[in-house]
């Protein structure tokens, strides 16, 4: 950002909630097993996002990109609706 002219004092980093320095493979196995139990088989591609359903998140781009996935995919979107939920649902329905 500084390279394109943003003042360094105006830049901050908001870190995600995943501790990638100390990943827990056992926890990951449990989460994957639970997702597969709820959403499909091991052959199924599962794509997910967790966050507000807000235009800034670009979830519409994710929905449009689904055409490039194999047919056997499942998308899981979890988050509070900031007014985008209906538009995203309509977009997904249009593209099916």
**What is the band of 19 on the pLDDT scale with cuts at 50, 70, 90?**
low
Measured in whole angstroms, the distance separating CA 12 from the mean position of its chain's CA atoms is: 22
Whether 15 has a pLDDT exceeding 80, the answer reads no
pTM of the model: 0.60
Give residue 21's pLDDT.
73
Give residue 3's pLDDT.
81
- Coil, strand or helix at 95: helix
- Measured CA to CA, the distance from residue 14 to residue 51 in angstroms comes to 14
Task: Specify the pairing of strand 45-50 against strand 73-78.
Answer: parallel
Q: What DSSP string describes 19-70?
A: -TTS--HHHHHHHHHHHHHHH--TTSEEEEEES-B-GGG-HHHHHHHGGGS-
**What is the band of 12 on the pLDDT scale with cuts at 50, 70, 90?**
confident
């Amino acid at each position: 950002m500084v390279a394109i002219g943003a003042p360094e004092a105006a830049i901050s980093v908001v870190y995600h909630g995943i501790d990638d320095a100390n990943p827990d493979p056992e926890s990951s196995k449990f989460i994957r097993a639970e997702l597969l139990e709820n959403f499909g088989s091991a052959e199924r591609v599962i794509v997910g996002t967790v966050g507000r359903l807000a235009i800034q998140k670009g979830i519409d781009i994710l929905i449009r990109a689904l055409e490039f996935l194999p047919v056997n995919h499942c998308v899981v979107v979890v988050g509070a609706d900031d007014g985008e939920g209906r538009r995203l649902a309509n977009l997904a329905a249009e593209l099916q």
